Amino acid sequence: MAASSRRVGAETSKTRDTLLDCVETMMIEEGYASVTYRALASKAGVTPSLVQYYFPALDDIFIAAISRYSQRNLAFLNKILEKRTDDPLRALWEYNWDEATGVLMTEFMALGNHRKSIRAEIAAVTESARKAQLDALTAKFGKDARPVGDLSLPALQLLISSLPKFLNLEKGIGVQTAHAELTKVFEDYLDTVEPRTTASKSSASRRRTKKADG
């Protein structure tokens, strides 16, 4: 997108943060289509002109929301990986399930399918998150390692990050055939690389049951 020549409110402004808080709430409660200048202004208790001061174009609102969400999410991911250097595979599997089932990320992905200007931003933040995940796996196993079957670390990371998203999308339209079986098989593979305690296995079983039941 071409840069706007209009004045834009400071990114460190508390008002801007408040507006983005409202954007997240609206997307979670009503979906991304509910976000308009008037609706956002009403939600935040400000005028539409103030919203436009901070976000000259409607897409600017969504790009700012995605950017802020991704920065927060990446910081959270890095904190997890710092604490779990011994079991990064398990940590990433759990992290990606949590992200895949998050309403806000689902809305961002749907938004990207309908607005080309948003797509590039989503791709950029996705690549950043995947790099952080791949770096963590490389740090433990080594660049050319193949800890699960013949999968390279990039392929393994892609599977860990994409499988939860795919299964969650299917679940969203009412399709769950063999979901629990596939999840269990993959978790069993992870167990061969990063064995868990009995308590951990019980916890994983409860998560699988919860996902299957919806």
Tell me the per-residue pLDDT of 110-164, one tens digit each, with 9 for 90 and over: 898 888 888 999 999 999 999 999 999 999 999 999 988 888 999 999 999 999 9
Neighbours of 88 (CB within 10 A): 23
Mean pLDDT to the nearest integer, 20-28: 97
Global pTM value: 0.81
When pLDDT is cut at 50, 70 and 90, the band that residue 1 belongs to is very low
- Name the E strands within the chain: none
- H runs (alpha helix) in the chain: 14-30, 37-44, 48-54, 58-83, 88-100, 103-114, 116-141, 153-172, 179-193, 198-213
CA distances to 123, 132, 187 from 128, rounded to whole Å, are 9, 6, 25
Q: Between the CA of residue 166 and those of 71, 100, 117, 129, 179, what are the distances in Å? A: 23, 8, 24, 17, 10
Range 87-107 average pLDDT: 92
Which tokens in the block code for residue 198? 């009995």
More confident residue, 13 or 11: 13
User: Residue 49 CA to chain centroid, in angstroms?
Assistant: 31
Task: Give every CB contact of residue 183 below 8 A, 6+ residues apart in sequence.
Answer: 167, 208, 211
Question: How many other β-carbons are positioned within 10 Å of the β-carbon of residue 91?
Answer: 20
- Residue 45 CB neighbour total at 10 angstroms: 8
pLDDT computed for residue 49 by the predictor: 96
Hey, CA dihedral for 88, 90, 91, 97, is it positive or negative? positive
Cα–Cα distances in Å, from 84 out to 79, 133, 180?
9, 12, 26
Residue 186 has a pLDDT of 92
Residues composing the chain: 214
**pLDDT band at residue 11 under the 50/70/90 scheme:** low
Residue for token digits 């999410």?
Answer: 73
**Domain extents in the chain:** 86-213
